Amino acid sequence: MSKGIIKTIVFGIVFVAAVIIFSFATNHTNEDLTTEMKEASFPVVSLYYEKEQVNELFGYKDEMNALYMRDSITPIGTDRILPVRIQTYGYRVDGLSYEIRSMDTSRLIVDQKVEDYTNEKNTVTADLTIENLLEEGQEYLMILKLTSGKETIRYYTRIIEPSDCYVKESIDFAKNFHDTSLNKDTAGTFATYVEPNASGDNSTLNKVDIHSTLNQISWADFKGEQLTQPTVSVKEINTSYNVILLDYIMTSAGDGEELEYYNVEEYYRVRYTNDRLYLLNYERNMSQIFRGENSNFYDNHIQLGIRDGEIQYKENENGNIVCFVQEGELWSYNANESRLSKVFGFRGYEGMDDRENNDAHDIRIIKTDEAGSVDFVVYGYMNRGDHEGEVGICVYHYDSVANTVEEELFIPSDKSYEVMKAELGRLMYENESGCFYIMMNGSVYQIDMKTLECKELVNGLAENGYAVSDSHRYVAYTKGEANQASAVSVLDLETGDTFEVSADAGNYIRPLGFMEDDFIYGEAKTDMVTVDTAGNTVYPMHCVRILATGEADHPQLKSYEKDGYYISGIEIKDYTIYLNRMQYNGVAYVEADQDTIMNREADTDELVTVASTVTEEKQTQYQLVLTSEEELTAKKLQTPEQIILEQSKDIAIEEGEHAPYYYAYARGRVLCVTENVSDAIDSANDNMGVVLDDSQKYIWKRAKKTLQSALTVTVGDADAGSSTIAKCMNAMLGREELNVGVQTLLDRGDTPQTVLTDTMQGKTVLDLTGCNLEEVLYYVNKGTPVFAMTSGTDAVLIVGYDVNSVTVFDPAAGSNKRMTLEEATDLFKQSGNVFLAYLRD
């Protein structure tokens, strides 16, 4: 054999050996660098009331800011024993203790170690003895602490010893109503509790309410079975009503006879009296859990099933790849490769673990590229994985080629998901340079995800002084005093560029919002922006303009202006701008009919669209429609591996001081967080909820007596000859035994609100301008009169009411007078609905 042949053979052997060794090393390295998401490990706590299981609690790894942990409220029996059952799932429990604090967390009432508990077969049970230190009818915060080695897991709930609240009866009613609705033969028995009318939507099973038909409430033609028993959650307890939630999973057969799963939540607002029970509100929400079965694909459609129509999705430029969010999970579909990827989700494929199915998180898709890779954010409570039991914002990158998900950044939070979502969900964006942007307490922060360096880009943003685009790419903001701005800066977070929009001469300018990425702003004449008698800024915008942010010269696309009409704000929905208009009646600016601006070019460039179909059994179902001419299939179903981090990606951002916030809650969820108490009350009223302040003090409830006898008020000698405004203020102060010459304070420039705030130490003074009469009667019911303007210079005090009328104190006459609700409503509305009230601490 020649030497050349021998060399060739040897070289080939060496080459093959090198390839094998390299391949082994590479595969071994990849194996070490990626892993599956860790399984959930934390125990679940269930509490009991009168032998009824209530309030399933999930554990927190870190100590949370207890001020913002008010998801559930647990009733305590008269024996002051709270039974606790802990499902450990194999987690070692070394100790159990609990704290009880005042709702503002300032006062520690109980700090008790539990000595007597049983721990058998992955279940810990204990009876917590609540010391006789709690006031009946008063809410407190309980923190249950479970220790294992050096680790402490905390569980949060409010507790109350209810009096005349009929909590058990309300729970029993909700469970009976639920059971009855599943049985067509007995469904008619709750006919007296529901109120079918035209407002009820009987075309969808996604949302059924008290105004739906009996047939719709009893599941119409849906052929489903209940998989899990309802979990009872109590959200509000008071003498006026109780709020009960039931959560469970339903199943049904799909088109291919595969099993479909649905998360269902039922909401009950119940008033129970000695005479009878009143169902004040009822709603059932049902959403399908996407499983990626072949029956989810037909023609060029992806069947998402029964859900709401607000679908979050993004497609690539060719429209052959689409990613979408459904029931807390992120999915990606590649039509060319018939490949479906479950990019992110806490829920496993086998069974339905309560911990994995916990819905206290959300996902925001930031962008997807041509290959199908996705940048996205998961924010809220982390059900499992490296951050199990933490609340925060986690930024991820999904690599569709490598089929991996990598954590790029984690920002922890010590607030509940609901509060964090309302406060921090206003801005979250990642650009191509690897920078992440977030807004906290009126500041915009930039975080370099490679170095974890954080810097503040913008600060001092007032609520009415900024707007964020739908994509979160653009932020428009004013500098300095928001109500006196002559220019708006528009920041492009992708490029870092900023351009300025200036008001016309003699005008102020205010950012209002974005239609997709087109900037909307309003202008008001400087001499028409004034401060009313109560101290509120009146900002009547005579015009609204829209300009293109994506074009170099930012041309104006549209302008709106109509003589005699002014704009107070806008709402944007389905590519339509709704203009909230007002008119000046010679005394005040009053509400006028809405007008609209339509975007007729919307949707024209979309390659993936949303469609809906209606069937007899499942009623309305939603689909994503691709442009593919071939029938869609999912031949491949894959779950990406997670890249193991070499170092922590955690970064903490210190929250600065902020203006007082008001929190509107309903069903245990935060509806809004705002500096404007009137906006919070409006939101809570629309959703039958409550309003709290930063210290967890109740500011407003949709609960009041039907009758309030007239409160006694008198005007002191110091203001006997003063204006009606001063007399009203004097009489309010007199109710609190304060004798102050109000007219002197007003003459030096103080407003009625500042007079009350400065004088009533220890009271919560509220500017309720913008609320309606029905809303402010809550404060009269609490025993405090409400100041109301009746013209530009005169005022009265609302001191009583019944179902048909209100009683006002007229300081000009020095006596009370009765007005019908219609008369009073119209009088106050024509005067701008300017109200002031206060609460005793």
Alpha-carbon gap, residue 444 to 464, rounded angstroms: 15
DSSP-assigned states of every residue in 547-598: E-SSSTT--EEEEE--TT-EEEEEEEETTEEEEEEEEE-SSSEEE---EEEE
The pLDDT of residue 219 is 96
> In 3-state terms, what secondary structure has residue 656?
coil
3-state secondary structure of 69: coil
pLDDT at res. 423: 84
Predicted confidence at residue 603, as pLDDT, reads 56
* Residues forming beta bridges with residue 244, ordered by sequence position: 234, 268
Whole-angstrom Cα distance, residue 448 to residue 435? 5
Judged against a pLDDT cut of 90, whether residue 276 lies above it is answered with: no
Q: Which of 15-24, 69-78, 804-813 has the lowest mean pLDDT?
A: 15-24
What H or E segment, with its residue span, contains residue 774?
helix 773-781
Question: What tens digit of pLDDT does each residue of 125-162 get?
Answer: 999 999 888 899 999 999 999 999 999 999 999 999 99
For residue 459, what are its two tokens?
Answer: 């600060």
**Rg of the chain's alpha carbons, rounded to an integer?**
30
Mean pLDDT of 504-524: 95
Predicted pLDDT of residue 533:
76
User: Is 475's pLDDT higher than 90?
Assistant: yes
CA–CA separation, 689 and 267 (whole Å): 12
> How wide is the angle at C-alpha 822 spanned by C-alphas 820 and 826, nearest 5°?
120
Mean pLDDT of 474-498: 94
Residue 295 has a pLDDT of 83
> Region 778-788: what's the mean pLDDT?
96
CA dihedral sign of residues 562, 568, 573, 575: positive
Tell me, what amino acid is at 533?
T
Is the pLDDT score of 6 beyond 70?
no
Read off the pTM: 0.91
Q: What is the pLDDT of residue 683?
A: 96
Tokens of 220: 């119409």
483 confidence band (pLDDT: 50, 70, 90): very high
Separation of CA 727 from chain center: 42
Between 335 and 273, the more confident residue is 335
Query: What distance in Å separates the CA atoms of residue 740 and residue 755, rounded to the nearest whole number?
Result: 10
Phi-psi region of 770 (alpha: psi -120 to 50; beta: other; left: phi over 0): left
Mean pLDDT of 283-291: 96
Contacts for 361 with CB less than 8 Å, ≥ 6 apart = 328, 346, 378, 379, 380, 381, 382, 383, 417
CB 467 within 8 Å of CB 511:
yes
In 3-state terms, what secondary structure has residue 221? coil
Give Dmax over CA atoms of the chain in angstroms: 127
DSSP H or E run through 724 = helix 724-735
Q: Average pLDDT of the chain?
A: 91
- Report d(CA 249, CA 216) in Å as an integer: 18
The whole-number average pLDDT for the span 344-356 is 88
Cα dihedral sign, 49-231-279-776? positive
- Which pLDDT belongs to residue 587? 87
Q: What is the mean pLDDT of residues 541-548?
A: 96
DSSP, collapsed to helix, strand or coil, labels residue 775 as: helix
Angle between helices 677-686 and 773-781 (to 10 degrees): 100
Contacts of 740 (CB under 8 A, 6+ apart): 718, 730, 733, 755, 759
Q: Buried (b) or exposed (e) across 662-675, using 16+ Cβ within 10 A?
A: bbbbbbbbbbbbbe
pLDDT (tens digit per residue) in 670-708: 999 999 999 999 999 999 999 999 999 999 999 887 899
352-363 burial by CB neighbour count: b if 16+ within 10 A, else e?
A: ebbbbbbbbbeb
Q: Give the whole-angstrom CA distance, residue 228 versus residue 178.
A: 13
Interval 308-327: pLDDT, tens: 999 999 999 999 999 999 99
| Among the ranges given (104-118, 232-246, 628-642), the one the predictor scored with the smallest mean pLDDT | 628-642
Q: What is the DSSP string of 591-618?
A: E---EEEE-TTTTTT-SSEEEEEEETTT
How far is 530 from 187, CA to CA, in rounded Å?
58
Contact (Cβ atoms closer than 8 angstroms) between residue 53 and residue 232: yes
Residues in the chain: 841
Predicted local confidence at residue 17, as pLDDT: 47
